[in-house]
Structure 1
Amino acid sequence: MNLHVPALTPEAAPVRTTCPYCGVGCGVLARPDGQGGASVAGDPQHPANFGRLCSKGSALGETLSLDDRVLHPEIAGRRASWGEALDAVAEGFRRTIAAHGPDS
């Protein structure tokens, strides 16, 4: 099988896609910025949004970079295992319920 996949460069045509945030399914035009991110605009031909995007959809391009994302659980600023993190959350819930009741 010999597939030709065009390079996604800043000069590439925008990619038509759908905003993932809510159930409306707004049309999005994403254009790669050449640095791992993309510029995002509403798709004026899409019948759900006619080119308009809400604040979440407009910021979609800012979510593509991994630089500022938390990729592993942390407890008090140190990396923790998922089990340790879940235990810490469960203990926090137990303390809160003990102190403030089951509806807290």
Structure 2
Amino acid sequence: MFLVVLKFPFSLFSRTFSSNLTCVTAPSNSAFTSDPLYMDIDHQRVNSHLTFRYAEDPIVTEVSRLNSFVSGGLRVLVRGKGFNSIKTSLPKMVFYRIDLNQTVTAYYGVCHIIQ
């Protein structure tokens, strides 16, 4: 199964129940162009009336807190530009920890866009 946007295939990330798919976008070589969404399921094209648009990548210029407590709950202020393109999505920060055995653990935090 493939979800295709602007002729770039998305990877299937997860399937929830029978009605939801979460896909990961492929890189694009251009921004601000729109094309219709469609899916290829078992070599069958399923068209959609929806369109998708790539926007410029946000640029991070400053992070106000570079550490936190293990229990979490502290705010991390991220400054930069281009965040207006992510107003309607739910961005996440990912922190990686590598222990002495080279085991990588990822910690996810939900971000809120503050105007």
Superposed pair shares fold, TM > 0.5: no
More helix by percentage: 1
TM-score, scaled relative to structure 2: 0.24
TM-score, scaled relative to structure 1: 0.26
Which of 1 and 2 has greater Rg? 1
